[in-house]
Amino acid sequence: MSDSVKRINHVALVVEDLATALTFWRDALGLPVGHTESNPAEDVDIAFLPVGDSEIELLKPTDPESGIGKYLAKKGQGIHHICLEVTDIEATIQRLTGHGFEMINETPRIRPDGTRYAFVHPKSAFGVLVELYEA
């Protein structure tokens, strides 16, 4: 494993309705809901369900014109992105751009809990939206 990539932090799924999605993930599979939150900066409501050392992240857009809202309208429910936890997000971004890969976020954004994050453009990751997390 890379010395900069620590683990898969989460796999994010876009859903139309959190309560309905939880009937599968929580009720049928028995995964606990670690916590829920709203992220106004990204226009989403989120439920985090721990699975071992990682999480399933359910994303429900709160604005149909947001990036995730448009994604849901275009592609429907399903896997939205994979999140890799890294030791040094700036160094990882520099490494990726130095190899010619395109970032959506050239500089990290900051979540309310202090986690810094940035997205790699899916064109650079063979069609997969990759999020980098530095906790």
DSSP string, 62-78: S-TTSHHHHHHHHH-SE
Q: Are 45 and 18 in contact (CB under 8 A)?
A: yes
Q: Are 30 and 75 in contact (CB under 8 A)?
A: no
Look at residue 113 in the predicted model and tell me its pLDDT.
85
- In order along the chain (135 residues), what is the average pLDDT of each group of 10 residues? 85 98 98 95 95 97 96 97 97 97 95 92 96 94
> What is the count of structural domains for the chain?
1
Look at residue 135 in the predicted model and tell me its pLDDT.
84
Q: What residue type is 55 in one-letter code? A: E
**CATH assignment of the domain containing 112:** 3.10.180.10
Look at residue 112 in the predicted model and tell me its pLDDT.
82
Residue 109: give the domain boundaries: 5-134
